[in-house]
Structure 1
Amino acid sequence: KKAHTIDVVVDRLVIPAAPDAAFKTRLTDSVELALKTGKGILEVERLGASCPDGRTVSGQSTTYSELNACPDCGISFDELKARSFSFNSPFGACPTCAGLGQLYYFDEDLVVPDKSLPLEEAIHPWRRMGQMNILYHRELLAQIAKQYKVRLSTPYEKLPAKFRHGLMHGFKDDLVLPWRRVDRPFEGVLASLQRRLDEAEDDESKAKFEAYQSFRTCPDCGGSRLRPESRAATVAGKSIVEVMAMPVTEALEFFKAMGQPAGSAPMVASDSNPQTLKPFPSGFIR
């Protein structure tokens, strides 16, 4: 079975040089009928023609929609409101970083701060956090080294790169442990630390693991802290992320150029009150 699209031609219009009331009424009626027939979606096809002002316009098709969904990929979203543009609200915050703009992760350079140490001493958290923890990970590391044929006395920095990567990020092969009935792959030091952090019940225990973390810019929102739908919305061709990155003077000019919608509250500070916005020398408000 294949999906089919059936287009219905609702009207054909020739745009006059000076559209009158009758033309506007016909255009409005045609748009309403097209939206009703297309269940909220209409397509305007502009045919290649010469305009009254002498310009030649090439043929093109534009899709319009009343739905909060992309007609091409089908992604839908809730109606945009003021809270959609606030990273302090769950309706606007990036779901990946929860509106923080950055993600914490276990940093290999903090987990293995001195790579000149032998393997048996190199993994810092495995040599801390209590005697039972030390003994368990000593035996675990010995079994890993035995299975992958590396020496515990070899400096960490001189171990094969593939082994170091597997040790940190996990091996694909099952790890055989004498005290375990079912063999399964070793998850990796970093994943093990993350799991134990997630299982920690008190702040003191969490702090011990968080000491091995660093942070980086969220890969999904790029540090903007907003969800994709909020970043995709534009006004006069600019998203809120682009506007927030503008110097104050440039942002003021941007809003002034948009004009003031009738009946709306003022958007831009009056020139008669220059103290309303006082930017830093760099041109940005911090």
Structure 2
Amino acid sequence: MIDVSSLNLLKSKKALVTGIANDQSIAWGCAKAFHAFGADVAVTYLNEKAKPHVEPLAKEVGAQILMPLDLQHEGQLEDVFEKIEKRWGRLDLCLHSLAFAPKDDLQGRVVDCSRDGFLRAMEISCWSFIRMAKLAEPLMKSGGALFTMTYYGSQMVVEHYNIMGPVKAALESTTRYLAAELGPKGIRVHAISPGPLKTRAASGITAFDKLLQKAQSKAPSRSLVSIDDVGVAVAFLGMDGAKLITGETLYIDGGYHIID
């Protein structure tokens, strides 16, 4: 990771990072970058089973808040923001790195997706970002930045990505509308689209290793992205120098998305 210990370009910023599962998570790359640039960090973990994997990472970045967040548990998201308000009184950066689709619906054809599976995927992967923005808005008193994670399969048909393609397309559209609505308050909103990464979430995609090989061989950079690459780019968008950049879907993929 780039040594930015002397830059402190996010000094005094308060950052919420959701979606860390382990030290391979994209959200972990973002948490490290926020911390490295001087921000105070709050971290969530899915449940008690996940906590032992996340807690040491939270300590590594000096997380001042560590709380459970399972979007299928009513009220947990609200509890996180209530804690932030009590502890910090404000929020500057908010990372939504949460997505889910039932296995049968994810691994099956889009045309075969169940109604319940589709609604569940949309609720957890897309609507939760809207809800998070709603809760963050009053805490971003001097502006701020909201980030969510998407993927190239939202725009192009990627084999085995299936129902997550339409869901991520909805998420990217949501990002633009949120950016337009919250922009007058100085709140920027971005969708971050990394190239394929070996994460826990990616393990649910069939033949993912082939997708990695294809990305590396076709990307202009001829290299795969790392969680640190993503983290530093996201941190940049959270800086005051990026205050006039909003509503973007930022590809961090070595240029893969421009190649046929």
Q: What is the TM-score with the length of structure 1 in the denominator?
A: 0.19
More relative contact order, 1 or 2 (CA 8 Å, 6+ apart)? 2
> Which has the larger Rg?
1
Q: Considering fraction of residues, name the structure with more helix.
A: 2
Q: What is the TM-score with the length of structure 2 in the denominator?
A: 0.20
